[in-house]
């Protein structure tokens, strides 16, 4: 971590990639990855080229949905965390009303 830059500066400069940096290391995760790989290998052996291309497109669509889900979940988690911090800093834990966008 560059100690000369704030977290906000690093985020702005594109130096932080939470989705790429966070890779589960649990045995459960590794088992799921292995199971997926094994099943894909079995499908490859049974599908013709046309159906295999369809499988690739399906997997890409599933990955897109998953990526978007993670993106929105991450953003909501950050909002929650910021709001929690603000509440702890405010008098009586009460936040000022949210400003409406113009």
For the chain, residues with pLDDT lower than 50 are none
pLDDT above 90 as % of the chain = 33
Element (DSSP H or E) covering residue 40: helix 27-46
Q: What is this structure's pTM?
A: 0.61
- For residues 95 and 83, the answer to whether their CB atoms sit within 8 Å is yes
């Amino acid at each position: 971590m560059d100690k000369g830059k704030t977290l906000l500066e690093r985020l702005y400069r594109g130096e932080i990639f939470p989705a790429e940096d966070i890779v589960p290391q649990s045995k459960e995760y590794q088992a799921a990855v292995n199971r997926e790989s094994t099943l894909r290998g079995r499908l490859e052996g049974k599908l013709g080229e046309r159906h295999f291309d369809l499988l690739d497109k399906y997997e890409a669509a599933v990955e897109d949905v998953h990526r978007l889900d993670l993106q929105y979940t991450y953003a909501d988690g950050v909002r929650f965390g910021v709001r929690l911090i603000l509440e702890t800093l405010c008098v009586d834990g009460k936040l000022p009303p949210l400003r409406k966008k113009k």
